[in-house]
Chain A
Amino acid sequence: MFSFCADPAAISGSKWLACYLTTGKHVGLYWSFVTVLVLLAITAPAALLFGFGGATAARSHFAPLRLFGKFYIVIVRGVPDIAFFLFFVIALDQGFEWMRHQVLCPDWSEPIRQGNDFRVCPAAKLPLGNAPQWVHEVYGFFLAVLTFALVFGAFAANVLYGAMQAVPRGQMETAEAYGMTHRQTFWRILVPQMWVYALPGLSNLWMILIKATPLLFLLGVEDIVYWARELGGSKQARFSDYPHGDWRLWYFLGLLVFYLAFTKVSEFVLERIMRRLSRGQATVGAT
């Protein structure tokens, strides 16, 4: 990075640290922070969408759909989330491959599950066997995002379901009295009003989502936990220009500070949004 880094053995002190912190591997660490932020940026709206779907399903007048919605909300809440993360990553992968297998190789005769193996035809592999490395990484990340969205969708569904129930009954009755159809009442009366009831729950969920991001590591994505473990482990002079002892403690301390700062900033921002949204509403927090 810097010109004085050419001979690592000759430098020391802060210069050494500056060179050390700008090695190629460390740049990988910094990019993985971006990965976490991208994950948050994609997952939050996706989970909201899943949650909206789940909440609407749970309120549906069509019994099977209602049961499905309620089941989705209840099951994810009752079981440790890590179990779901580990489960969905494999299950989704196999599900996609199975569907592609059915479509692409209709005349494949061998069974897919052979003992301890899951075998689909080569054309149905995801990603394809000859795909470049980045496709594998993007696919892994995509699976992770989908898993997060599914799990957090259930939490969001729970919050939104409660918020929809909290909209005063009188509002809906008035809309019906004015002759609005069921669909119109839903989109014009219920949905705009539910957000203020949903926001405390949703902001809580956002905090939880931030704190769930290190679990990316369990899903096989090279995230900040992965890099902190890799870079922090002790390096010997033979293998690295920058030998050091076991520094994982310091790397994870850095991560801890990062998350603390992140949650603190989010708390501040969400507080402002809440104050903004509750303006003119008939709730206790309104001004």
Chain B
Amino acid sequence: MTCLATIQDYGLRAIGIGERLLPKEDFTLCQQFTLIGSGLIWNIYFGVLALAFGFFIANAVALAKSARSPWLRKPAEWFVLVFRGSPLFIQFFLAYFLFLTLKQAGILTWLTSAQAGALVVLVLNTAAYSAEIFHGALRSVPRGEVEAADAYGFTGWSRFIRIIWPTSMRLAWPAYTNEAIFLFHATTLVFFSGFPAWQQKGDALYYASYFADKTFNPFIPYPIVAMYFIIVSVTLIGGFGLVNRRLNRHLPQDRRSKLKYRPQIIR
């Protein structure tokens, strides 16, 4: 079987298109590259959607955390504490069994699938981590900028949306880039934590561990996963770097905040 045929059969296997049965024996390098690559579709799906939804929730939570009223502040603090203080792995399990219980009661039955349920957990989790970053950024907006805004007669919402929020985003962006990278890494946990891979439609690491189990040789599939994730990380850094450039475009070159790749954060 040529590699092209393998790609046709397994290139979209992770979303259920193509050959139904996974390869059983005589695994070729091409099969491993193709299947693990097709699993990456799910990692990207979880990562992109969680980032997109999480960004807005995170901003809301960060604002609530900076609010003066304890009715807003306390729930936000608890939300951040619970999701940052406990392992993502346990959160996945807990959420899955919660959704199972709900399903038995007949509400929100679609949440037990990994595609929906795990996404909810990831959105909330990244929202909590990002909210902490944004909250820190909101607090470190230079006082002078706020005073200048006051002097120009900006008040309330327009002061926030025109002056404070853009600056806070600019300050938060390097840390937020790291958060995005580790969110993508965290997506590999989904199929190891209760959520079932229905019809063996799993993510990159799911297929890698499938190959490692079958061949009893970890030295091929896991480096393939590593390679794919390094590509994803580099792409993310590139994309976020563009946004960072735009956020910093009004500053002189030497005062722009650079993106730095910082130590790993496991959830």
Identify the A interface with B (CB < 8 A): 75-84, 86-87, 90-91, 94, 113, 116-118, 155, 158-159, 201, 204-205, 208, 210-215, 217-218, 225, 228-229, 232, 246, 248-249, 252-253, 255-256, 259-260, 263-264
Contacts and interface: CB of A to CB of B under 8 A. Distances in A.
B90 A79 contact: no
14 contacts: A78-B230, A79-B230, A80-B186, A80-B188, A80-B229, A82-B185, A82-B188, A83-B229, A211-B86, A211-B266, A217-B89, A246-B101, A252-B90, A256-B82
Interface stretch (B63-71, B145-153, B218-226): B218-226
B229 A260 contact: no
A208 B85 contact: no
B208 interface: yes
B225 A80 contact: yes
A155 B264 contact: yes
B94 A252 contact: yes
B87 A259 contact: yes
B264 A249 contact: no
Contacts of A210: 87
Interface string B75-106: 00000011001111111011001101100000
Contacts, number: 125
B263 A255 contact: no
Nearest to B218: A90
B212 interface: yes
Given A87-B218, A90-B216, A256-B91, A81 B264 contact: yes
B216 A118 contact: yes
Interface string B174-185: 000000000001
B94 A86 contact: no
A83 B222 contact: yes
A83 B94 contact: no
A74 to B, nearest CB: 9
Contacts of B267: 211
A251 to B, nearest CB: 8
Given A246-B100, A252-B94, A263-B86, A116 B218 contact: no
